[in-house]
Amino acid sequence: MLSRVASHLYWMARYLERAENMARILDVGQLLSLVSRGAGSEASAIEPLVITNSLDAFDASGRARTPEDVAGYLAWDGLHDSSIFNCLRNSRENARAVRADITTEMWEDINDTWLHLLQKRHQDHEPADNAFFEWVKERSHLFRGITFATIRRDQPYHFIRLGTFIERADNTARILSVKQSTRGTSQAGDEVTDYYRLSAVLRSVSAFEAYRDTYRDGVDERHVAELLILDPTLPRSLRFCFDEIVRILTLLPGATAKPARRLAVTLLANLEFASIEEIYSEDYHGFLERFLLETAQLGDALHHAYLELK
């Protein structure tokens, strides 16, 4: 496969996953803004900006640090590269460039998503509420289902899946990292607020029911971290994502990809043989920061191996 085609497929999937992840973060952010009180309200409002590393750009835009302005910025701002609007546009443009390498149903779905997004922008005045975020998630799920049901299991499919899981792992780690760094900002003994915050983390990655099935007790911080980092059966856990990434890399040509494969296998081993007690005792936040750095390095290695024009 040409590097150009692989790159378009990979980024088509990454941008669509990024749009879904942004919708998840904003959906939960609005829930937390209802729970927050007093001095913590602004911290909850800007949390989606911290997770997405967009706080400086947001402040430069002159908007107020309110949940409404934050949601509008991350959903629709044309100058913010990772806004939902720009992610869906970039995903559609990448799909258009490789129409011959995806199925007709895939192209029609992603193009229909883009047309409906334009309609929402002009007729619904750029909504940034729970209904809009649910729509974004549903469109991402629909495209993923159509892809699974219609495309051959050859290299285009593998690059689509690779982009999805690299982006997903990065997002889950960012959510956990920010939640760890802001731990303790709520008032001491405020168990209700802690419960809603931890529940929001689980809901942002569709893991609330999985948590209940696994632990069957109150929402505990360490159990949340254990589930989202180490569980091999949860589709948005770090372990699950890297199980898939390593498996996909074994199915792609390996002559130029040894550095990427070595890094992916190392990251997987760190997750497979770790325990949550070790992670906490050694430095939980440092573990997540290293994971984010190494995931970015893996993305660079994949770009060099498969995606850059040679």
Q: Tokens representing 100?
A: 């011959």
Least confident of 25-29, 34-38, 199-203: 34-38
Same domain, 134 and 95: yes
Contacts of 124 (CB under 8 A, 6+ apart): none
- pLDDT beyond 60 at 187: no
Least confident of 38-42, 174-178, 203-207, 277-281: 38-42
Same domain, 146 and 54: yes
Label residue 39 by pLDDT band (50, 70, 90): very low
Please compute the mean of the pLDDT values over residues 261-283 and round it to a whole number. Answer: 95
Same domain, 247 and 110: no
Label residue 253 by pLDDT band (50, 70, 90): confident
Same domain, 19 and 147: yes
Same domain, 132 and 245: no
* 7 burial level (CB within 10 Å; 0-12, 13-18, 19+): buried
Same domain, 99 and 204: no
pLDDT for res 193: 65
Which of 121, 151, 181 lies at the terminal end of a domain, its last residue? 151
Same domain, 108 and 238: no
Same domain, 224 and 267: yes
Label residue 192 by pLDDT band (50, 70, 90): low
Same domain, 133 and 215: no
Same domain, 179 and 244: yes
Collect contacts of 259-266 with beta carbons under 8 A, ≥24 apart: 259/301, 259/304, 259/305, 260/298, 260/301, 260/302, 260/304, 260/305, 263/294, 263/297, 263/298, 263/301, 264/298, 266/294
Which of 151, 167, 188 lies at the terminal end of a domain, its last residue? 151
Label residue 43 by pLDDT band (50, 70, 90): confident
Please compute the mean of the pLDDT values over residues 142-166 and round it to a whole number. Answer: 97
Residue range of the domain that includes 289: 154-310
- pLDDT beyond 90 at 1: no
User: Would the pTM of this model clear 0.95, i.e. be above it?
Assistant: no
Please compute the mean of the pLDDT values over residues 26-55 and round it to a whole number. Answer: 78
Least confident of 31-35, 57-61, 265-269, 306-310: 31-35
Q: Is 140 helix (H, G, I), strand (E, B) or coil?
A: helix
Which of 90, 122, 151 lies at the terminal end of a domain, its last residue? 151
pLDDT for res 310: 61
Domains in the chain: how many in total? 2
- pLDDT beyond 60 at 146: yes
Least confident of 30-44, 142-156, 289-303: 30-44
What is the tens place of the pLDDT at every residue in 77-130?
999 999 999 999 999 999 999 999 999 999 999 999 999 999 999 998 999 999
Q: Mean pLDDT across the chain, nearest whole number?
A: 91
Same domain, 276 and 307: yes
Same domain, 200 and 301: yes
pLDDT for res 38: 52
